């Protein structure tokens, strides 16, 4: 009895095609999210008014934890947030590098028609030192999180993640499709070489294709595959180059923001000193009188 070959099993081929399609769709989704995030000025993709953020610290335990993926809803800059809301906003560290912070609204400050917010992490003893203006707020946490999925998205945004989650699956799918095509040609050739008497049909009804024609078909297919691979490689190289340009632009923006923050702080201190001097002069004048 001839041993069955799994590669000849129709169900196996259908299953492999379904798996290939799922992997391809997954890779496309990951690629789209990464590209949208890179093109965004904040580094966060806006998908239909919602964004997905990876938690980087434990400042909001037990609301959510490091490496969790949280969902925030985008609102217009004029939206008013209330005490107790959890908001995600742009912040800057001591080096001037921009990052996204997610803390709870601790207090709302209104001054001269403008609104700013005092924020505080649930796991922190003191509120954040700097107030948050509406222009820096990305959105509000909706109470939905997926445990540990944030670490996966962080990895997907790296060069290694792009290679593993996008380039490698695409290459495997191409190899599988090429293998299936060549195997079909081999089986067709094997069937054409069998004696016509096995089917009780005269040979002239099933003339075998010329070997040169088969070679030409295979060569044409391989040429198209090489062109497709070259096109994909070019797209990947353009994407990586664009990512480097955007990273450099973000660094320059962060440096510019740092300089502006330093100048603003200096001007505020200078203004406070002038106001203090004015008050002192008024006191001195009052005492002299």
Q: Say how far apart CA 127 and CA 139 lie, in whole Å.
A: 19
pLDDT exceeds cutoff 70 at 29:
no
* pLDDT of res. 286: 76
Residue 123 in contact with residue 176, Cβ under 8 Å?
A: no
pLDDT confidence bin for 54, thresholds 50/70/90: confident
* pLDDT of res. 208: 55
Q: What is the DSSP string of the chain?
A: -PPPPGGG-HHHHHHHHHHHHHHHHHHHHHHHHHHHHHHSTTS---BTTEEEEE--SSTTTTTS-TT-EEEEEE--TTPPP-TT-EEEEEEE-TT--EEEEEEEEEEEEEETTEEEEEEE-TT-SS--SS-EEGGGEEEEEEEEEETTHHHHHHHHTSHHHHIIIIIHHHHHHHHHHHHHHHHHHHHHHHHHTS-GGGGT--GGGSPPPPHHHHHHHHHHHHHHHHHHHHHHHHHHHHHHHHHHHHHHHHHHHHHHHHHHHHHHHHHHHHHHHHHHHHHHHHHHHHHH-
* pLDDT of res. 81: 94
Give the start-to-end residue ranges of the domains of the chain: 45-149
pLDDT confidence bin for 187, thresholds 50/70/90: low
pLDDT exceeds cutoff 90 at 183:
no
Topology at the third CATH level for domain 45-149: Umud Fragment, subunit A (2.10.109)
The residue that leads in pLDDT, 168 or 204, is: 168
* pLDDT of res. 6: 54
pLDDT confidence bin for 120, thresholds 50/70/90: very high
* pLDDT of res. 39: 43
pLDDT confidence bin for 162, thresholds 50/70/90: low
pLDDT confidence bin for 86, thresholds 50/70/90: very high
pLDDT confidence bin for 190, thresholds 50/70/90: low
* pLDDT of res. 88: 94
* pLDDT of res. 9: 59
* pLDDT of res. 194: 53
* pLDDT of res. 205: 47
Which burial class, exposed, middle or buried, applies to 141 when counting CB atoms under 10 A from its CB (0-12, 13-18, 19+)? buried
The residue that leads in pLDDT, 44 or 30, is: 44
């Amino acid at each position: 009895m001839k041993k069955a070959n799994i590669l000849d099993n129709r169900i196996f081929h259908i299953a492999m095609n379904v798996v290939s399609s799922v992997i391809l769709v997954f890779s496309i989704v990951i690629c789209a999210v990464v590209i949208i995030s890179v093109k965004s000025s904040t580094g966060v993709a806006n998908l239909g008014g919602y964004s997905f953020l990876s938690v980087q610290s434990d400042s909001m335990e037990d609301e959510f934890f490091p490496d969790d993926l949280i969902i925030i809803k985008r609102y217009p800059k004029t939206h008013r947030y209330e005490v107790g809301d959890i908001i995600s906003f742009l912040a800057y560290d001591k080096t001037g590098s921009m990052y996204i912070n997610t803390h709870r609204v601790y207090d709302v400050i209104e001054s001269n028609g403008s609104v700013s917010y005092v924020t505080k992490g649930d796991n922190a003893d003191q509120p954040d030192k700097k107030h948050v203006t509406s222009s820096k707020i990305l959105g509000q946490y909706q109470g939905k999180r997926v445990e540990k999925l944030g670490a996966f998205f962080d990895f997907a945004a790296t060069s290694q993640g792009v290679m593993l989650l996008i380039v490698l699956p695409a290459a495997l799918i191409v190899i599988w499709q090429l293998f299936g095509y060549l195997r079909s040609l081999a089986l067709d050739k094997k069937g054409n070489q069998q004696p016509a008497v096995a089917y009780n049909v005269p040979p002239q009804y099933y003339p075998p294709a010329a070997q040169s024609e088969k070679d030409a078909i295979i060569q044409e297919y391989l040429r198209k595959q090489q062109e497709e691979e070259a096109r994909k490689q070019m797209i990947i190289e353009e994407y990586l180059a664009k990512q480097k340009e955007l990273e450099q632009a973000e660094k320059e923006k962060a440096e510019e923001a740092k300089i502006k923050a330093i100048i603003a702080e200096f001007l505020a201190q200078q203004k406070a000193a002038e106001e203090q001097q004015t008050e002192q002069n008024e006191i001195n004048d009052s005492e002299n009188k």
